[in-house]
Structure 1
Amino acid sequence: MAYQPIENYAIIGDMHTVALVAINGSIDWLCIPFFDSPSVFGALLDDEKGGRFQITPRVTDVRCKQFYWPGTNVLITRFLSSQGAAELTDFMPVEPVNETGLHRFRLIRRLTVVRGAIDFILECRPAFNYALDPHQTERITAGAVFSTEKLKLLLSTDKPFEISKNGVVSRFTLREGDTTVFVLSQMTPGSEWAMHTSNKEAERLFRVTVDYWRDWIAQCQYSGRWREMVYRSALTLKLLTFKPTGAIIAAPTTSLPEEVGGERNWDYRFSWIRDSAFTIYAFMRLGFTEEAQRYMEFLSKVYRGFSGDKPPLQVMYGIDGKTELKEMELHHLEGYKGSRPVRIGNNAYKQLQLDIYGELVDAIYLCNKYGAPISYEEWQEVKRLIDWVCRHWQQEDEGIWEVRGRRRHFTYSKLMCWVALDRGLRLAEKRSFPTDVSGWRKVRNEIYTYILEKCWNPRLKSFVQYPGSDALDAATLLMPMVFFVSPTDPKILGTLEAVMRPPQEGGLLANNLLYRYNLDKTADGLRGREGTFNICTFWLVEALARAGQFKSDLLEEAHLLFERMLGFANHVGLYAEQTGFSGEALGNFPQAFTHLALISSAYNLDKALGTRG
């Protein structure tokens, strides 16, 4: 079976893990029981060895469509063929943990024929531990059990099946009005789930899950334009939240390539400080203060109690707060469409990225303003973070884009160090917290002067990636968004004009999509090319929208750019990290960074359009 395009997938989940479901009804990526657990189905990274769980009609003329049950993360895959029509409903129940206090994975696939009589084939071929661990397959009354030393799964079914290549194959026919249920669940000693799940029980779980998601999204306070896309982005971000700790992952996949056949393949199943801080902003914009507060509690545990001059924060953490995220290559997997290497873990956790301090302090500032006020003890921790920034802001680092080349004085890193000082001063004043106000103001002014004098290129009339460079960087578009300068400051307007030139003229904009930087001018230590960065395009929309409140032509440009960008979402409204030359999705999928930027740009563009009547 050939690889599906990345954009052909939708996701379902239970805030512990996520499954990628292809438009043809195949689950090609699933880690059990958690986001960062080894994969059980990994056909996404090796079509032959990776394992999959597919349900599909046995006809050649089948057409497939997918959509989410309105206001939920329950997925419907519709099969249309000459034999008839059927619907496959996929979801993971969101229920309280059991009496032991432990979460138990459960995936429900309910298949109903709504017209005609259709012959189906089910194939469930797990490949445990990234297809490294062998497993045993056993037939029981309730279905089939797949077992390794570390994990045991039950496939519950009332359909006949055969065991083939250590997987399960079932061929069956359903007629109009018939429904059958397949449940994949994690088994534990003494589990009472070793029985087939009835249609009645599946319907109950469906209703419980639908109610959960609808009750959650009903709390959203956004009522502007593009509400459906904003809601879908919010629901996606919620799916990428790890319920036990409040951590937010960057994406649920690993090693989906930024260039097919290239080496830019990374594991994103961790919680980045930067991504998560921006996600907090998006949640708070929509009124989801509980999610923001839960993540702040997670963060406070990882930075509390540091001392000395060692960096107090890592770039990223495991979803349980783990600090060791050693990068490894899985040489036995061929990678998506032959894109090696396949990596698990991410060595970027050892990098120095100074921008994360500004993003974190800004998130704390917002939570204090719109959520629960921070305590004096928490302020002491924040104060130590800012004092550390005062001593180290002049260092070179790897920057927001995690370059694997040499360190530099990246403009964006200096900008966010300024944000750390600025928000710290605002917070101290607002809450009358004790601190070295004059010392912090002195450093804040030094950083401001540094950026204006050294990071501005008078020949290009633009802020650049680092002092002395002629390379542009989309991250500089955030300057007005963090209130470093006015959105109509001549230097920002010059930067907007520069980045919107085509790449062959030194700019970053191609086909209405923005590259993060120009690879011909930025040595990032990696071979190959990459696609345009979706978050950067949304940043451009927001920068234009903010300036457009005072310049109508820029507002019109922002509006058109946003509408065009919406056209690059996939069939269920999801985005990967990047968009390729032909509009294809590239990079890990779906990416939180992209969806939070969509929310922010939609909010601010709607606000700008509203002020003009």
Structure 2
Amino acid sequence: MYGAPGRDTSERYLPIADHGLIGDLRTVALVGTDGTIDWYCCPAFDSPSVFAAILDADRGGAFELAAAVPSRTKQLYFPDTNVLITRFFTEEGLGEIQDFMPLSESGEADSHRLVRRVVCVRGTIPFRARVAPRFGYGAERHTVRMADGAAVFDCAALSLSLRLTATVPLECDGGDAAAEFRLARGESAVFALEQNRGEAAPRGCPRARAEREFTATVAFWRNWLRQSRYRGRWREMVHRSALTLKLLTYAPTGAIVAAPTTSLPERIGGGRNWDYRHVWVRDAAFAVYALLRLGFTGEAEAFMGFLTRHTERRGGGPSGPLQVMYGIDGRLELPERVLPQLEGYQGSAPVRVGNGAATQLQLDIYGALLDSVYLYDKWCRPISSGHWRGVCALVDWVCEHWDQPDEGVWETRGGRKRFLYSHLMCWVAIDRALRIAQRHSLPANSARWVPVRDEIYWRIMDRGWSPARQAFVQHEDSEVLDAAVLMMPLTRFIAPTDPLWLSTLDALGDELVSDSLVWRYDPKASPDGLEGEEGTFSICSFWYVEALTRAGRLNEARLAFEKMLTYANHLGLYAEEISHTGRQQGNFPQAFTHLALISAAFNLDRALG
């Protein structure tokens, strides 16, 4: 290990939840509660890592910065921003690190610049820093040299050079850079890590530049958040979720990543470790819904632009005209491979990059996408004639292929089945297209679309319902319960007080719900082709809240929602899953969870009045 000043050497890894997130709408960094940056990819979300100690404490690389004496720490966000503050409480005084990535008012990043400003608030405190990059997921060699007082890290294999400037003296130590310094009350030090493009070192005082960047970054986030129309009971949590979704946006293309990390395990020691730094059509479409609900129309427009440029493939591939996921630049190929040089978080190998699920058939993505198009048309701006042609092509394809077995929303690797959720979302795709056509008197192949929509409805009602379980089930010819069916009333497929649905809701509550936490399904009852167990799925917990809300069970819904808020980390962030002990698991933070929180809060607020 690099000897992080604030990290107990007996605990090589912080809990996943003990991190905050900063970013510049191109990439992000995870900052531990001890002041260590242990995840950072440059220059983009899906670039090879520079710091990846969260995946290998010895070989991953880290940017350590902390008080050099024993301390207690606390983290908070500068109010209504994504500027992170880590505070150090010592016997000698109080200090803090202000971490941010500068953005201009236009949303342009400043050369992927990562700024760490250290301030002594009271007393006198010694600090120490060690910047230990390990390029290419720890696989590529680099050199370090001093140039004009800055440490320059060069990785020839990746054609990437990073420059570290500081207002305190830096020393090269092997392949790392280090500094030790002492600050008295009111004094500060600044570290800035940025891409080295060969230009001359910035002129002027680094402290003054950092102050300008801090002020501009705070203004950017506050001006963005000011667009929110949410004034409900859970404003702080909803707005933190919105700020997090915005951080997961790749501004150059309008893409929205599912999460900014890879291979954080769904269970410690297990193999369910996946790369989420890509654009899932489903996740991004749901994120558009959540942001539109709050009044953020710019992100919806940008994502629709991404779809137009990158995902409307005529003719289609093996998964149809849409692919399950895309690269943040729209690329189609996302080959999955294992990185043997990294041990994984707390030894949870394998570490993967790329994602083999990109080639799966997941029919539900068509419903997620067309529902977001429907809402965009309703709340943002009317659909264009060019977009409508694309919508018609997608719906025609769904009408032709909806009855195929597929891998389903949970991307199982145990063989294709006829999943109820896939059929449900195909129904949504056709239904939303018909609604758009009716709203604007657009030409539509209603003679074909309406009968298929109705056929899907009766297929779900007849073959998705289990008389034995008195519930809708995961797939045809099964008795397995699945939390994905919680979307049935949310998509307006079935009335939320329909007796069949209320019976299903009770069955789910009895079998898959524990203290507001919801499992996706029981993998023992429905083998998914993967080894090991997983935790409860946080998006399903918020779906459960919303289903209770729509069923009129408001006391249960509010209690379940308030309980779910207690599982957030100290900053209001959520990973993908929660373990049986209440610890966060999986990639962090996850867009799916935060968008579901927004939707549940919005609808529960409205129901409570």
TM-score bracket for this pair, using the shorter chain length: over 0.9
Q: 2:6: which partner in 1?
A: none
Kindly indicate whether residue 481 of structure 2 is the aligned counterpart of residue 472 of structure 1.
yes
Q: Within the alignment, does 1:516 sit opposite 2:515 as a pair?
A: no
1:112 has 2:119 as partner: yes
1:142 aligns with 2:166: no
Aligned partner (choices 19, 27, 38) of residue 9 of structure 1 = 19
Question: Counterparts in 2 of 1:302-321, with a 5 A limit?
Answer: 302-307=310-315, 310=318, 311-321=320-330
The question of 1:538 aligning with 2:546 is answered: no
Describe the SS at the equivalent of 2:250.
coil
Contact 2:311 2:330 in 1 (8 A): no
Superposed displacement of residue 382, structure 1: 0.7
| Deviation of 1:197 (Å) | 5.2
Query: Following the alignment from structure 2 to structure 1, what is the Cα–Cα distance between the partners of residues 471 and 376?
Result: 33
Q: 1:184 aligns with which of 181, 193, 200?
A: 193
Q: 2:303 aligns with which of 274, 295, 303?
A: 295
On the 8 A contact 2:166/2:206 being kept in 1, the answer is: no
User: After superposition, what is the alpha-carbon deviation per residue over 1:254-276, rounded to whole angstroms, capped at 9, x for unaligned?
Assistant: 00000001000000000100001
In 2, Cα distance between equivalents of 1:406 and 1:63: 50
Please report how far the alpha carbon of residue 451 of structure 1 lies from its aligned counterpart in structure 2 after TM superposition. Answer: 0.1
Match of 1:429 in 2: 438
Deviates more, 1:212-221 or 1:366-375: 366-375
Match of 1:208 among 216, 241, 255: 216
Q: Tell me the percent identity.
A: 52
Shift of residue 377, structure 1, vs aligned partner: 1.9
- CA-to-aligned-CA distance 1:236-255 (integer Å, 9 cap, x gap): 00000000010000000000
CA distance in 2: counterparts of 1:293 and 1:413, whole angstroms: 26
Aligned to 2:558: 559
Q: What is the aligned length?
A: 596
1:330 to 329, 333, 339: 339
| Aligned match for 1:90, one of 91, 94, 99 | 99
Query: What value does the CA root-mean-square deviation take over the aligned residues?
Result: 1.4
Match of residue 18, structure 1, among 11, 28, 45: 28
Unaligned runs of 5+ in 2: 1-8
Q: How far apart are residue 520 of structure 1 and its match?
A: 1.6
Matched, 1:388 2:388: no
Identify the residue that residue 247 of structure 1 maps to in structure 2.
255
Residue of structure 1 equivalent to 2:583: 584
Cα distance in 2 between the residues matched to 1:157 and 1:415: 56
- Residues 312 and 322 of structure 2 are in contact (CA less than 8 Å); yes or no, is this contact kept in structure 1? no
Shift of 1:96: 6.7
Q: In structure 2, what is the Cα distance between the partners aligned to 1:128 and 1:305?
A: 35
| 8 A Cα contact 2:19 2:33, kept in partner | yes
Could you tell me which residue of structure 1 aligns to residue 348 of structure 2? 339
One-letter amino acid of the counterpart of residue 52, structure 2:
G
TM alignment of 1:30-429, pairs within 5 A: 30-60=40-70, 62-95=71-104, 104-149=111-156, 150-189=159-198, 191-193=199-201, 198-307=206-315, 310=318, 311-429=320-438
Alpha-carbon separation, structure 2, partners of 1:387 and 1:402: 24
Q: Do 2:26 and 2:109's aligned partners in 1 also have CA atoms closer than 8 Å? A: no
For 2:130, give the aligned amino acid: E
Contact 1:158–1:196 under 8 Å retained in 2: no
- For residues 309 and 226 of structure 1, the distance between their equivalents in structure 2, rounded to whole angstroms, comes to 43
Aligned to 1:570: 569
SS of equivalent to 1:500: helix
Distance 1:292 1:440 in 2: 26
- Give the deviation of 1:102 after TM superposition: 8.9
Between the aligned partners of 1:26 and 1:167, the Cα distance in structure 2 is: 15
Change (3 A) 1:193 1:596: farther
Q: Distance in 1 between matches of 2:149 and 2:500?
A: 68
8 Å contact 2:28–2:45 — kept in the other structure?
yes
Distance in 2 of aligned mates of 1:66 and 1:22 = 9
SS state of the match for residue 6, structure 1? coil
Q: Secondary structure at the match of 2:89?
A: strand
Equivalence for 1:504: none
User: Which is worse superposed, 143-152 or 193-202?
Assistant: 193-202
* Alpha-carbon shift at residue 561 of structure 1 (Å): 0.3
Q: Displacement of 1:219 after TM fit? A: 0.6
**Which of 526, 529, 548 lines up with 1:525 in the alignment?**
529
Distance 1:309 1:18 in 2: 32
Corresponding residue number in structure 2 for 1:551: none
Query: Where does residue 449 of structure 1 map in the other structure?
Result: 458
**1:302 Cα deviation (Å)?**
2.5
Distance in structure 1 (CA, Å) of the matches to 2:578 and 2:57: 23
**Residues 463 and 472, structure 1, Cα contact 8 Å, conserved in 2:** yes
- Please tell me whether the aligned partners of residues 115 and 193 of structure 2 are also in contact (alpha carbons under 8 angstroms): yes
**Unmatched segments (≥5 aa) in structure 1:** 502-506, 549-553
Would the alpha carbon gap of residues 433 and 309 (structure 1) be closer, same or farther in structure 2, given more than 3 Å must change? farther
SS of alignment partner, residue 480 of structure 1:
helix
Query: Is the partner of 2:372 in helix, strand or coil?
Result: helix
Aligned partner of 2:592 in structure 1 is 593
Letter in 1 for 2:241: S
Shift of 1:192: 3.3
Segment of structure 1 superposing worse, 253-262 or 145-154:
145-154
Q: Distance in 2 between matches of 1:193 and 1:383?
A: 54
SS at match of 1:519: coil
Q: Secondary structure of 2:131's match?
A: strand
* TM superposition shift of 1:156: 0.3
Equivalent residue of 1:137, what SS? Answer: strand
Return the alpha-carbon distance in structure 2 between the equivalents of residues 209 and 562 of structure 1.
Answer: 32
Seen in structure 2, the aligned counterparts of structure 1 residues 254 and 14 have a Cα distance that, compared at 3 Å, is same
Q: Contact conserved, 2:266 with 2:585, CA < 8 A, in 1? A: yes
Retained in 1: the 8 A contact 2:516–2:561? no
Name the aligned partner's letter for residue 473 of structure 1.
Answer: D
Is the CA contact 1:234–1:283 (under 8 Å) kept in the aligned structure 2? yes
- Paired residue type of 1:411: L
SS at the partner of 1:279? Answer: helix
8 A contact 1:142–1:195 mirrored in 2:
no
SS at match of 2:125: strand
Shift of the 97–286 alpha-carbon distance from structure 1 to 2, 3 Å rule, reads closer
TM-score where L is the length of structure 1: 0.95
Q: CA deviation at 1:430?
A: 1.1
